[in-house]
């Protein structure tokens, strides 16, 4: 199984984002701009699982009462699927969006956070490796589309 070495992305120096401005040729700047976009998409894909888990935990802890009330009735509502869909929409109505400030706390910096991100990326890679074709095809498609997409 292929190792994507996602953990190495945790060590990425984001200085690559400034490279396009330093170039004199417009054509080369466009190519560099595409590179920057591709790198941003790959990094975004790599940190997505960790961010999804962190945001989910924040959502659950912020709205634990609303979600708890909802979950107590899930089995009942599975039997009446239309009511279940209605209740799901009610959860979205009750829960306000998490603020940019709250979400920024999830990505707080520091060496400890960098080590956690590196470990999370390693575990993502290891999960893909031990899952075989169950996940590898999806990861390959995401990485390919991230690097060949024009925007």
**Would you list the domain boundaries of the chain?**
6-148
| pLDDT tens per residue across span 24-71 | 898 998 888 888 888 888 888 888 888 888 899 898 888 888 777 777
Helix extents (H) in 5-132 = 19-22, 26-62, 64-72, 74-79, 81-94, 100-106, 111-131
3 pLDDT tier (thresholds 50, 70, 90): confident
Q: What pTM value is reported for the model?
A: 0.68
Q: How far apart are CA 142 and CA 77, in angstroms?
A: 35
Using an 8 Å Cβ cutoff, are 37 and 151 in contact?
yes
Instruction: Give the pLDDT of residue 150.
Output: 61
Q: Pick the closest to residue 88 from 103, 106, 110, 73 (CA basis).
A: 73
| pLDDT tens per residue across span 71-96 | 777 777 777 788 778 777 888 888 88
């Amino acid at each position: 199984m292929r190792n994507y070495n996602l953990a190495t992305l945790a060590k990425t120096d984001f200085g690559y984002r400034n490279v396009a401005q330093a170039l004199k040729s417009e054509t080369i700047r466009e190519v560099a701009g595409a590179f920057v976009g591709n790198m941003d998409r790959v990094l975004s894909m790599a940190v997505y699982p960790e961010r999804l888990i962190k945001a989910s935990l924040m959502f659950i802890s912020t709205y634990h009462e609303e979600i708890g009330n909802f979950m107590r009735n899930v089995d009942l509502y599975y039997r009446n699927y239309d009511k279940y869909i209605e209740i799901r929409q009610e959860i979205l109505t009750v829960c306000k969006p998490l603020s940019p400030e709250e979400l920024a706390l999830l990505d707080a910096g520091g060496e400890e956070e960098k080590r956690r991100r590196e470990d999370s990326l390693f575990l993502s890679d290891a999960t893909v490796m031990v899952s075989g074709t169950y996940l590898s095809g999806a990861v390959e498609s995401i990485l390919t589309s991230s690097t060949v997409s024009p925007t």
